[in-house]
C-alpha cells in the first residue's frame, strides 16, 4: 500500500488544516496552502487587516458572553447541519462568538462504534493551532527585550543549516528555507510503523540538521514544522524554563484556559474526547479509516501538541486576534501587519494566517482537524473541531473515503464547515485551493 503523506502541520495547517500536526496537512505533500498562494515578497496592496490599531484596542461588548440572538443561532445551526454531511467526519463541535452573543453546538458522533454522541465539552488535539501559541510567546519575549526577531537561530541553537542567516522572524513566517523533518522519508517510515513512539525535540531537530535547505533564507515561503520546533527551543533557551511551563505561565493561566493542556512526551488525552479517524496509516483503506486517537503526538511538540476545547479556543481566538491579554498593542499591530499579500489572497505572517480579514490557524493531527479564526473587521471568533482529518470532494492528491462527493471542491472537514459558517455570517473566508 502507498505510504501516507505525513503532512504534519502543513502550510495547509494555517489556512487549511495540516495533518499530522496540524499538524500534518492531509493528503497533500507538505506545505501547500499558504505556500501556493503567497510569496514571501508579494507586493502589499490593501492590507489583510484593515485597521490593526483599532483591532488591538477594541473592547469586548457586555453581550458577547451571553446567548446568541435566536435568529443568528438558527442560521448557524442550519448552516452547520447542511455542511457536515459533505465533510468526511463523524462529528463536529462549532462555536461562534460575536459582539451580540455566543453559540456552541455539537453534531454527529464522538464514537461511531458505540454511537456515543458528540458533546460540546470535548477536548481536542488542535495540531498546528499550537504554532500560534509558540509565535505569541516569541513576540512576548521580543516585547520584553529578551530577544530580537532578527536574531539568527544559531544564537540559540547550534548546527542548523544556514544558521547564521536564518532569523527568528523567518522561522515564524515560514521563509527560512529549512526543510520539514516531517517530510523526511526515513522519519515517516519510522513514525507510521510505530505511531505510539515518543519523539523528543532534540531528536526532531537532529533530523532537520541533516536535511538540505530548500532555498536561501527569506527567498520564498515554505511551510515547515522544523521552524516552529526551533522556536520552541528558543523559548526554552531564553526563559530557562520548559516550553510547557512557558505556555502555562504566559498564556494558559493569564487567559484562564483551564481546559487547555500540553501533554509533552505523553499520549495523554483528558476526558471527554472523541475518537479520531484518519487515512494516514499503513493499514488504512478508504473503507476502513484507522482510529488514531491514542497516537503519541510528541513529534509535534511546539508545532502541534496542544489540547483544548471549544470554550477555551473562543477565549484564546479573540486574544490572538486582538492581542489583548497576550501582547502590547504596538507588538500586536506589528503582528497584524506581518502578512505579505493583499486583502483577499490568503497569506502567512508571524505564526498566523490571514484571509479577507480573518486571522488564525488551522490544525491537524491524524484523526483530528481544527480551525480557529478571528474576524478583525467584525469582532467575531469561530471555532470548528472535528474528529477526522480526511478531506472530501474533488481531491486529486488526498486519500478519500469510498463514498465521496466529487461535485464539491476538495476540502478538509473543519475547513469545509468553517467556510460555510463564515459565509453565513456575511464575512466570507477565501480558502486556498486544496488538491
The span from the CA of 364 to the CA of 304, in Å, is 8
As a whole-number percent, the residues of the chain with pLDDT over 70 amount to 90
Mean of pLDDT values over 236-262: 98
Q: According to the model, what pLDDT value does residue 149 have?
A: 98
Q: According to the model, what pLDDT value does residue 180 have?
A: 98
Q: What is the mean pLDDT of the chain?
A: 90
Q: Point out which residues pair with 373 in neighbouring strands.
A: 360, 382
φ/ψ of residue 176, rounded to 5: -70, -30
Q: According to the model, what pLDDT value does residue 343 have?
A: 83
Q: According to the model, what pLDDT value does residue 223 have?
A: 97
Q: With contact defined as beta carbons under 8 Å apart, do 73 and 80 qualify?
A: no
Q: With contact defined as beta carbons under 8 Å apart, do 338 and 325 qualify?
A: no
Stated length of the chain: 435
Chain position carrying cell 463523524? 90
Q: According to the model, what pLDDT value does residue 10 have?
A: 38
User: Model pTM greater than 0.95?
Assistant: no
Position 284 confidence tier, pLDDT thresholds 50, 70, 90: very high
Q: According to the model, what pLDDT value does residue 344 have?
A: 80
Q: Where is pLDDT greater, at 236 or 32?
A: 236
Q: According to the model, what pLDDT value does residue 164 have?
A: 98
Is residue 35 pLDDT above 60, yes or no? Answer: no
Q: According to the model, what pLDDT value does residue 15 have?
A: 36
In degrees, rounded to 5, the angle at the alpha carbon of residue 369 between the alpha carbons of residues 337 and 179 is: 60
The span from the CA of 194 to the CA of 191, in Å, is 5
Q: What is the DSSP letter of 405?
A: -
Mean of pLDDT values over 370-383: 98
Q: According to the model, what pLDDT value does residue 432 have?
A: 76
Q: According to the model, what pLDDT value does residue 41 have?
A: 40
307-331 residue pLDDT tens: 999 999 999 999 999 999 999 999 9
Position 16 confidence tier, pLDDT thresholds 50, 70, 90: very low
Q: With contact defined as beta carbons under 8 Å apart, do 209 and 184 qualify?
A: no
Mean of pLDDT values over 383-412: 95
Position 183 confidence tier, pLDDT thresholds 50, 70, 90: very high
CA 309 from centroid of its chain's CA atoms: 14
Mean of pLDDT values over 151-170: 98
Q: With contact defined as beta carbons under 8 Å apart, do 430 and 355 qualify?
A: yes
Mean of pLDDT values over 158-183: 98
Range with lowest mean pLDDT among 29-33, 86-90, 167-171, 390-394:
29-33
Is residue 167 pLDDT above 70, yes or no? Answer: yes
Q: According to the model, what pLDDT value does residue 244 have?
A: 98
Q: According to the model, what pLDDT value does residue 320 have?
A: 98
Is residue 9 pLDDT above 60, yes or no? Answer: no
Position 341 confidence tier, pLDDT thresholds 50, 70, 90: confident
Query: Is residue 265 reached through a cis peptide bond, with omega within 30 degrees of 0 on the bond before it?
Result: no
Is residue 18 pLDDT above 80, yes or no? Answer: no
Q: According to the model, what pLDDT value does residue 232 have?
A: 98
Q: With contact defined as beta carbons under 8 Å apart, do 10 and 30 qualify?
A: yes
Amino acid at each position: 500500500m502507498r505510504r501516507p503523506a505525513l503532512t504534519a502541520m502543513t502550510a495547509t495547517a494555517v489556512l487549511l488544516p495540516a495533518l499530522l500536526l496540524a499538524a500534518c496537512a492531509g493528503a497533500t505533500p507538505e506545505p501547500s496552502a499558504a505556500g501556493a498562494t503567497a510569496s514571501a515578497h508579494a507586493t502589499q496592496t490593501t492590507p489583510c487587516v484593515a485597521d490593526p490599531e483599532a483591532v488591538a484596542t477594541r473592547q469586548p461588548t457586555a453581550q458577547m458572553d451571553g446567548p446568541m440572538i435566536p435568529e443568528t443561532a438558527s442560521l448557524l445551526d442550519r448552516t452547520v447541519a447542511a455542511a457536515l454531511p459533505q465533510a468526511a467526519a463523524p462529528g463536529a463541535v462549532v462555536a461562534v462568538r460575536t459582539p451580540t452573543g455566543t453559540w456552541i453546538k455539537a453534531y454527529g458522533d464522538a464514537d461511531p462504534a458505540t454511537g456515543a454522541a458528540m458533546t460540546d465539552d470535548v477536548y481536542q488535539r488542535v495540531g498546528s493551532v499550537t504554532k500560534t501559541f509558540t509565535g505569541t510567546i516569541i513576540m512576548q519575549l521580543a516585547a520584553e527585550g529578551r530577544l530580537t526577531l532578527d536574531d539568527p537561530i544559531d544564537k540559540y541553537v547550534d548546527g542548523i543549516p544556514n544558521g547564521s542567516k536564518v532569523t527568528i522572524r523567518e522561522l515564524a513566517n515560514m521563509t527560512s528555507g529549512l526543510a520539514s523533518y516531517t517530510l523526511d522519508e526515513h522519519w515517516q517510515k519510522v513514525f507510521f510503523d510505530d505511531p505510539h513512539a515518543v519523539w523528543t525535540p532534540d531528536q526532531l531537530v537532529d533530523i532537520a540538521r541533516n536535511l538540505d535547505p530548500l532555498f536561501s533564507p527569506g527567498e520564498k515561503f515554505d511551510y515547515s514544522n522544523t521552524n516552529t520546533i526551533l522556536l520552541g527551543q528558543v523559548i526554552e533557551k531564553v526563559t530557562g524554563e520548559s516550553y510547557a511551563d512557558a505556555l502555562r505561565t504566559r498564556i494558559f493561566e493569564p487567559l484562564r484556559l483551564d481546559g487547555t493542556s500540553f501533554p509533552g512526551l505523553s499520549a495523554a488525552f483528558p476526558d471527554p474526547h472523541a475518537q479520531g479517524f484518519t487515512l494516514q496509516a499503513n493499514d488504512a483503506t478508504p473503507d476502513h479509516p484507522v482510529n488514531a486517537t491514542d497516537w503519541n503526538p510528541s513529534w509535534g511538540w511546539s508545532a502541534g501538541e496542544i489540547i483544548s476545547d471549544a470554550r477555551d479556543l473562543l477565549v484564546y481566538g479573540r486574544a490572538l486576534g486582538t492581542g489583548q491579554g497576550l501582547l502590547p498593542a504596538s507588538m500586536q499591530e506589528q503582528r497584524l501587519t506581518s502578512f505579505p499579500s493583499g486583502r483577499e489572497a490568503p497569506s502567512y505572517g508571524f505564526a498566523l494566517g490571514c484571509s479577507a480579514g480573518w486571522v488564525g490557524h488551522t490544525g491537524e493531527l491524524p484523526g483530528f482537524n481544527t480551525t480557529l479564526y478571528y474576524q478583525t473587521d467584525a469582532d467575531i471568533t469561530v471555532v470548528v473541531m472535528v474528529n477526522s482529518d480526511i478531506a472530501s470532494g474533488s481531491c486529486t492528491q488526498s486519500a478519500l473515503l469510498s463514498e465521496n462527493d466529487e461535485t464539491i471542491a476538495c476540502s478538509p472537514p473543519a475547513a469545509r464547515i468553517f467556510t460555510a459558517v463564515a459565509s453565513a455570517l456575511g464575512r466570507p473566508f477565501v480558502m486556498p485551493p486544496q488538491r
